[in-house]
Structures are given as C-alpha cells and as structure tokens.
Amino acid sequence: MKVCLISEGAYPTSRGGVSEWCHSLIDGMRDVQFNIFSLSAEKLLRYNLPENVEEVKIEHLHSPQFDRGVDANFAEDLIKEVQLALSGKPLNCGKILTLLNKREYKADELLGSDVNWNSAVAYYEDNFNEMAFAPFYVFWTSLFYLLYKTLETVDTVPRSDVYHTLNAGYAGLLGCLTKLRNGGRLVVTEHGLYLKERKFELENSEIPSWLHSLYENFFTSLVRTSYLYSDTVTSVCQDHTRLQRNVDPTLEDIKVIYNGIDTERFQPPRSSNNKRENFNVGTITRITPIKDILTFIRAAKHIREKHRARFYIIGEVEDEEYYDECLEMIEKLKLKPYIEFTGYQNSLDWYRELDVFTLPSLSEGFPLTILEALSCEVPCIATDVGGIPEILDEEFLVRRWDPEGLAKKICWLLDDPERRRRIGLEGRELVESKFSLEEMVQEYKSVYKGIM
C-alpha cells in the first residue's frame, strides 16, 4: 500500500503541530510506503524523512505573476467553472478535470489571461460596483492564484493508492482532483478546521468588511468540495464534528481519531530540580495571533505579583507584526527581565524545565503540545477551545482572552508543589492510556485498509 500525504504550508517544509503529526504518522507506519506532496512558500525541508518515504514533491508558491501566454479559448471554460467557488457550493471536479485534460495550464497564464481579468471585472460590477476596485482585485488575485496553482499541479502529485489531505482547503481540492485523475481513495483530515481558521484570519486582517462574505463563500466551497469527493473524513476531536456538519449537513460518518504521541520519547525527568529560585512557566507554540501570546504576557504580570516566576515562549515567529506587538506589551508591562522568546527549540528539553505548561490559544484542534507536556508530568492550563476539553478537566481550563483567569489557575498550581506532582502523575497516566502514538497509527492504518 502506498499513501500520499498532501499538505498546504506544513510538512515537511515547516514545523508545528500538523507537521509533527505527519512525521510521527510516517515514522510509526514503517510497513507502509509514503509519498509527500506539499504546496508551500518554503523550499527547504525541516525534517530528516523516514526511510519509508519514497518520493517528495514540493510545489513552491511564489508571488503571483501575470503571464499573457494563454489562449482565451482554452481558459474561458475552466475559469468560469472554478469561479463557481464564489457561490459557496462544491465544485464539479469531474468537469474541471475534463477541461484540464485538454491542455497544460500554468497558474501565471491563467492569472494573466483576459478571461481572468474580464471575469473579475464582471463579478465586481455585479456585486461591488460602489466600492473601490483595487482591494477587490487584490483579494481576487490572492485567492485565484492559489486555486490556479492547485490546478497546475494535479499531474505532478505522485501516484498512490490513498491520497490523504491534511486540510479541506487547497490541499483538499488537489486531493479530489488527483483521486479522479489517478484512481485511488481519498482521506480528508481536519486538524484545525480550515474554514474556521480562515474566518479568524479574515477577522484579524485588513480585508474590507464588504468582502468578507465573498471570502467565506470561496473557502466554504473548497471545504464542501473536499468532503464531497472524500472516501473518509476524519477529525482529531469530537468538537470539530459538529462544526463540520454545520458546513456540510450531508456529511454523515466522521471518524474521530485522537492525536497520539510517543510516550517513550516524552518522559518526565529522572530527578526534579529543586534548586531553582524561580518557577518556570512556558508555552510551546507558533508566534501568531491565533495562539494569543498577548494574553499569556498579560497573565505573567499578575503571576509576578504573587510568585518569583520566569516565562518562556518557545517556537518560531510566524507573524513578525504580531511578534513586535508582543515585545511592545512586554516593555509596557515592565516584564522584559522575566519573559524570553527562545525561537525554535527541542520541545523535549523544555518540558522538563517547566513547572506549568500553558496554551492560551483562541482556536485549536487537538494540540500535541498538551499531550507532550502531560506525558512529561507537567501540569497544563489551557483555553476551553477545540478538542482541549477532551483532554483536560474543567478545573484546568480558562476562557479565551482572560489573562486574570489564566494567571489565577497557574498560581493555583504554583502554590502547591504536592498538587503539581500529583496532577503531573495523573497526566502521564492519561496520555499512556488514551493518547498513545501506537493507537493513533493503528487507527489510521485501519482507515487506509478499510477504504482500499
């Protein structure tokens, strides 16, 4: 059996929860051959790939170009067909594939064609003619360039028995088209709920509010298309299944497979360090607004009023503007001596240095970092979002945007060493019994075999 993982901005060119999940899945399924296809703005691999990876294809995404080379007669039907994404309805992948079979298309040619321009102008005049054209066309270009790039790459995806897409967006659409082109089966896994995360980005972007519905319709179409052509849709937590059915009420069986980790790798330290003068409180995450580092910084101010504590934010900066905002907040609250951004680090080294792990995210799927911390016997406090309540009991949860509540719960743990020790032991037992890597790997292997 050969499985092709199709990612969008994730494995193997970037780090993060989804990428770690991919690496663990491949490494844990050594009797299965894997191919990898990634739509990515990055070129360099961030991982040493396991030996059972046969082929890797990175489709590098660059800034949109406008090539005038395509003949309008060839482009018109295809562009009109994919433009239906703006209705929010699923795309007809069979029809799209028939049009792709007529000739080879390049994304830059489609973007620079008269048909693309005329379609954009006609849509603008029908829907937004009282608004400024420039922001509309920038928005149109950003969406359709990636869609055209997806169409361009269909022939380059390695042939496999199963295509497994790691979201229901552009990667999901590529999985649908590749399944129809090559045969095989399609699994769609929602890690962070593609549509939900795009809506969050939209709300925190500079895109004018009058364009929001258009944006949402476009991505709703991609998600519904992914679900329509899939053989199996999986989710990483029960919480997501309700939202998935809201997007597509016809979606019936959604298989929930919890993420798992290697508990042999993530073990507690052999001996605790009681000589530190400060408590260590940390989070391991990407530096981006959806992870809400600002709430963690504000909570640190309250914690410092009660405890000698230092705070560590471990992970890569994904959003430079947001990172600068975090630095400004640290300066404003006079916390500079006590908070450190470490950049990317080996997470295993850090869990063993922490007294409390926290994850103040505004949205999550089923975060590996919480499982890893618990496996290392580190108590966790996190926001009540996504699948986190399916891991942590209510006493360890806080609301979003609540620095006082976050600080109070962290102090509750720092106040009592014996409580921390007991909760740490219970956390390790929980992960060993419910969230092991072996169980996760076996469940996905059963999915692959079942649809074959």
Please report which confidence band the pLDDT of residue 120 belongs to, taking 50, 70 and 90 as the band edges. very high
Helix-strand-coil percent breakdown of the chain, rounded to 5?
50, 15, 35
Domain annotation covers residue 104: no
> Which stretches does DSSP call E strand in 18-172?
33-40, 53-60, 162-165
Tell me how far apart the alpha carbons of residues 445 and 255 are, in angstroms, rounded to a whole number: 13
State residue 124's pLDDT score: 96
User: Looking at the structure, do residues 370 and 231 belong to the same domain, yes or no?
Assistant: no
Under a CB-based contact definition with an 8 Å cutoff, are residues 1 and 162 in contact? yes
Domain annotation covers residue 209: yes
User: Looking at the structure, do residues 376 and 233 belong to the same domain, yes or no?
Assistant: no
Domain annotation covers residue 87: no
pLDDT in tens, 190-227: 988 999 999 998 988 888 999 999 999 999 999 999 99
User: Looking at the structure, do residues 56 and 149 belong to the same domain, yes or no?
Assistant: yes
| Other Cβ atoms closer than 10 A to 51 | 8
Domain annotation covers residue 172: yes
Between the two ends of the chain, the Cα-to-Cα distance in Å is 9
Domain annotation covers residue 244: yes
What is the Cα 336 distance to its own chain's centre? 30
Phi and psi, residue 235, nearest 5°:
-135, 155
DSSP state for residue 261 in the 8-state scheme: B
Nearest Cα neighbor of 173 from 110, 89, 230 is 230
Tell me how far apart the alpha carbons of residues 43 and 61 are, in angstroms, rounded to a whole number: 9
State residue 275's pLDDT score: 64
User: Looking at the structure, do residues 39 and 187 belong to the same domain, yes or no?
Assistant: yes
State residue 252's pLDDT score: 81
- Mean pLDDT, the chain, as a whole number? 94
User: Looking at the structure, do residues 343 and 227 belong to the same domain, yes or no?
Assistant: no
Identify the helix (H) or strand (E) that includes residue 30: none
- 63 has a pLDDT exceeding 90: no
User: Looking at the structure, do residues 360 and 421 belong to the same domain, yes or no?
Assistant: yes
Q: Residue 234: give the domain boundaries.
A: 2-64+119-260+441-451
Please report which confidence band the pLDDT of residue 133 belongs to, taking 50, 70 and 90 as the band edges. very high
Give percent of the chain with pLDDT exceeding 90: 85
Partners of 383 in beta bridges: 398
How are beta strands 232-235 and 309-314 bridged, if at all? unpaired
Please report which confidence band the pLDDT of residue 70 belongs to, taking 50, 70 and 90 as the band edges. low
Please report which confidence band the pLDDT of residue 71 belongs to, taking 50, 70 and 90 as the band edges. low
Please report which confidence band the pLDDT of residue 272 belongs to, taking 50, 70 and 90 as the band edges. low
State residue 192's pLDDT score: 83
pLDDT in tens, 418-434: 999 999 999 999 999 99
User: Looking at the structure, do residues 197 and 320 belong to the same domain, yes or no?
Assistant: no
Rounded mean pLDDT, 332-344: 97
Tell me how far apart the alpha carbons of residues 182 and 276 are, in angstroms, rounded to a whole number: 59
State residue 206's pLDDT score: 86
Domain annotation covers residue 107: no
State residue 105's pLDDT score: 84
User: Looking at the structure, do residues 240 and 322 belong to the same domain, yes or no?
Assistant: no
Tell me how far apart the alpha carbons of residues 177 and 369 are, in angstroms, rounded to a whole number: 33
Rounded mean pLDDT, 166-179: 97
Omega of the bond prior to 269 within 30 degrees of 0, cis? no
Nearest Cα neighbor of 392 from 203, 206, 237, 231 is 237
pLDDT in tens, 348-363: 999 989 999 999 999 9
- 43 has a pLDDT exceeding 90: no
Tell me how far apart the alpha carbons of residues 86 and 88 are, in angstroms, rounded to a whole number: 6
Please report which confidence band the pLDDT of residue 65 belongs to, taking 50, 70 and 90 as the band edges. confident
Tell me how far apart the alpha carbons of residues 360 and 231 are, in angstroms, rounded to a whole number: 35
State residue 64's pLDDT score: 81
Tell me how far apart the alpha carbons of residues 89 and 98 are, in angstroms, rounded to a whole number: 19
- 397 has a pLDDT exceeding 60: yes
User: Looking at the structure, do residues 204 and 311 belong to the same domain, yes or no?
Assistant: no
- 117 has a pLDDT exceeding 70: yes
3-state secondary structure of 287: strand
| Other Cβ atoms closer than 10 A to 80 | 12
State residue 104's pLDDT score: 83
Domain annotation covers residue 92: no
| Other Cβ atoms closer than 10 A to 231 | 16
pLDDT in tens, 251-260: 888 999 999 9
Note the pTM of the prediction, 2 decimals: 0.92
State residue 69's pLDDT score: 65
Identify the helix (H) or strand (E) that includes residue 284: strand 279-284
Domain annotation covers residue 32: yes
Rounded mean pLDDT, 231-248: 94
CATH of the domain at 371: 3.40.50.2000
User: Looking at the structure, do residues 303 and 209 belong to the same domain, yes or no?
Assistant: no
User: Looking at the structure, do residues 299 and 406 belong to the same domain, yes or no?
Assistant: yes
- 72 has a pLDDT exceeding 90: no
Tell me how far apart the alpha carbons of residues 97 and 177 are, in angstroms, rounded to a whole number: 7
User: Looking at the structure, do residues 423 and 335 belong to the same domain, yes or no?
Assistant: yes
pLDDT in tens, 283-323: 999 999 999 999 999 999 999 999 999 999 999 999 999 99
Tell me how far apart the alpha carbons of residues 445 and 203 are, in angstroms, rounded to a whole number: 38
Rounded mean pLDDT, 259-269: 93
Under a CB-based contact definition with an 8 Å cutoff, are residues 391 and 366 in contact? yes
Nearest Cα neighbor of 100 from 44, 147, 66, 31 is 147
Tell me how far apart the alpha carbons of residues 205 and 200 are, in angstroms, rounded to a whole number: 9
Phi and psi, residue 36, nearest 5°:
-130, 130
Q: How many domains does the chain have?
A: 2
Please report which confidence band the pLDDT of residue 274 belongs to, taking 50, 70 and 90 as the band edges. low
Which range is least confidently modeled, 63-77, 254-268, 395-409?
63-77
- 79 has a pLDDT exceeding 80: yes
